[in-house]
Amino acid sequence: MNDRLWDAYEQVCVVELRPVRELVDRLRAGQFGPFPRQEVLDLLRTLQHNVLANVYVKAQEHPAYAEQAHRVAEEQRELFDALLAEVEADWPWP
């Protein structure tokens, strides 16, 4: 994983608590410099895996979370699938 790309993720999503959609928008705008399409796709796939794993861990921790896990997981899959498709179709750098 590209360290600069991971640092951009941490800055936007962890420090600033902004959504992954904003991270992609800011990456596309070149705010953190150019990144190859494949590296962004790899990051998004890693994040998707981590988010979905966390949803199911939380579902095991409390019944209220378990009731919502399927809906939340589906929403997250849809979000990441859309972001992946956008990056795949139209990215400013090869």
Over the range 32-53, which residues count as b (16 or more CB within 10 Å of their CB) and which as e? beebeeebbeebbeebbeebbe
Q: Spell out, as residue ranges, where the chain has pLDDT lower than 50.
A: none
pTM score above 0.85: yes
Q: 45 with 51: CB under 8 angstroms?
A: no
Instruction: For residue range 19-31, list pLDDT tens digits in order.
Output: 999 999 999 999 9
